[in-house]
């Protein structure tokens, strides 16, 4: 996941790069797919932490909003 996040960081500065010389992403769509993948992993990791942190209804609501947004 770290490598994916770093690739997206490069994309942030260089944008789509059809030659893939400065960015791993040739198109905006391929970058968007990796953003979704990274967010899905983040949701999994947050869910794994729920039992180890003080969890509130507000946090649950925020997590549910992210889950819903990812399924659209």
Whole-model pTM: value is: 0.83
The total number of structural domains in the chain stands at 1
Tokens linked to 36: 């979704």
Q: Which of 37, 43, 34, 48 is nearest to 63 (CA)?
A: 43
Name the CA dihedral angle for 26, 1, 70, 15, rounded to a multiple of 10 degrees: -30
Q: How many helices (H) and strands (E) are present in the chain, helices listed first?
A: 3, 0
Its domain, for residue 46, covers: 2-70
**Averaged pLDDT, groups of 10, the chain, 72 residues long:** 94 90 92 96 95 94 95 86
């Amino acid at each position: 996941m770290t490598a994916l996040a770093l690739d997206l960081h490069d994309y942030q500065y260089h944008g789509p790069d059809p030659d893939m010389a400065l960015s791993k992403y040739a198109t905006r769509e391929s970058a968007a797919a990796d953003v979704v993948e990274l967010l899905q992993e983040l949701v999994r990791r947050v869910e794994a932490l729920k039992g180890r942190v003080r969890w509130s209804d507000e946090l649950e609501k925020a997590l549910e909003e992210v889950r819903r947004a990812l399924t659209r």
